[in-house]
Copies of this chain bind each other. A is one copy, B any other.
Amino acid sequence: VSGLRAGVVVTGTEVLTGIIGDKNGPWLSERLREVGIDHAFTTVVGDRPSDVRAALDFMAAAGVDLIITSGGLGPTADDLTAEVVGEFLGRPMELDEGLEARIATILARLTRRWPNVDQEAIRAGNRKQAIIPAGATVLEPVGTAPGLVVPPAAAGSGLPLVMVLPGPPRELQPMWGAALETELMRALLEGQEAYETRIVRMMGIPESDLASTLRAIEEEDGLSLSGLEITTCLRRGEIEIATTFVPSVAESLYVDFEAALDRRYGEVIFARRGETIDEIVAGLLRDGGLTIATGESCTGGLLAARLTELPGSSSYALGGVVAYSNEAKSALLEVDPGFFPSVGAVSEEVARALAEGARSRFGASVGVGITGIAGPDGGTPDKPVGTVCIAVAGPSDARLERRLQIPGDRASVRERSATIALHLVRRLLLGPPVA
């Protein structure tokens, strides 16, 4: 895997200090891979211009062909990315009057709701956002900030092309397509072959096992995997194998690799093209004309929230009940009150009753019940923190249930429980064993 390399510079003290997480670095990483550019670095810097400049100099010294910046394009005086990039590439700043007018139109619409807003401050900010490096290609604003594609002033300077994008992901993401359409990006990408990344997901094996399997595939099957860039990681109890390769060179090698994985792990592989378990369950419900409802205790609505996250989910997700208290479990989901003194609220019996209750109250094809102890309090020697019972009921007479001991803190126990519940739904709808 060789060719063009890129670096990403994310600006913003609130990202550096972790007040908000960086979504742009990972998102841009995927986009770069799609167009065949190797993502070498992401550097997060605060809002100091000298630090932003140091990051640009670093990427240039490391020999990248493209730098993408995100953030620092706002209307206030401390938003200085465009100016720093202009200086870096040897281009003076100049006012783009057409752009100023277009931003003014956007601002007039946005500020209509706030009649008392400081109009002078708005005008100053508007003008500032229209002052750009001479010779830059403008990417029209999605919010109020324009993006830029800026070439070095001197040909043969060895400096990279710089793409300047706004910080908010909802502004940055729609601008990427426009950036690719610019002549500067087209020229850069000419002749590049896009990489392909395939993602296989499996459930229920330890990660260490996978490491020795990769060795075994090379030794026993005689496959040299060096033409593939393979990354494995463990997430929420699922193992993810991401493989990147140049299709014209390594497509058949990848097919052999996936077949080798299949021979060893066929039963636990649930996704071969990057689908999430959420998407798989949504597809099974939609394609089967089925509906689903939930009865949740310890997960407190997380499963319902995941089932309703995808667009169009209202066609199969009917709803759910979050019942923390035993009274609510009985009143809303018809759980037999006799269970609580006998088997306890955290039991296969109650999980099953929650699933059946959700199914019947919502008139759904499939019901899911989850009850457990997410911690940090509430554990007992019999049922320590992390004890979770999950049941799936329907369609028709199909039933599945599990009693689990999930490691980790409250957030992990809740998240893993919801994930495992989705795997059980998949298993019930598909038939073959999964975990």
Cβ of A45 within 8 Å of any chain B Cβ, yes or no, is: yes
Contact with B along A342-368 (1 / 0, CB 8 A): 000000000000000000011100000
Cβ of A377 within 8 Å of any chain B Cβ, yes or no, is: yes
Give A209's nearest chain B residue, CB to CB. Answer: B117
- Are A26 and B18 interface neighbours, CB within 8 A? yes
Tell me the complex Cα distance, A22–B41, Å.
Answer: 13
* A17-B242, A62-B51, A231-B14 known; A305+B309 contact, CB < 8 A: no
Give A405's nearest chain B residue, CB to CB. Answer: B113
- Are A322 and B309 interface neighbours, CB within 8 A? no
* A22-B22, A305-B300 known; A409+B170 contact, CB < 8 A: yes
Partner of A375, one of B300, B311, B362, B408: B311
- Are A233 and B19 interface neighbours, CB within 8 A? yes
- Are B308 and A319 interface neighbours, CB within 8 A? no
A residues contacting the other copy or chain, number (CB 8 A): 98
Chain B residues with CB below 8 A from A39, complex form: 16-17, 46
Tell me the complex Cα distance, A44–B240, Å.
Answer: 20
Tell me the complex Cα distance, A209–B113, Å.
Answer: 13
Contact with B along A106-119 (1 / 0, CB 8 A): 00000100100110
- Are A332 and B321 interface neighbours, CB within 8 A? yes
Cβ of A33 within 8 Å of any chain B Cβ, yes or no, is: yes
* A29-B17, A43-B43, A233-B20 known; A332+B319 contact, CB < 8 A: yes
Q: Closest 9 CB pairs between A and B? A: A18-B26, A300-B308, A301-B304, A301-B301, A58-B58, A301-B305, A121-B212, A319-B322, A54-B62
A-B contact pairs, 8 of them (CB 8 A): A20-B233, A76-B211, A170-B409, A300-B305, A301-B320, A302-B305, A319-B322, A319-B332
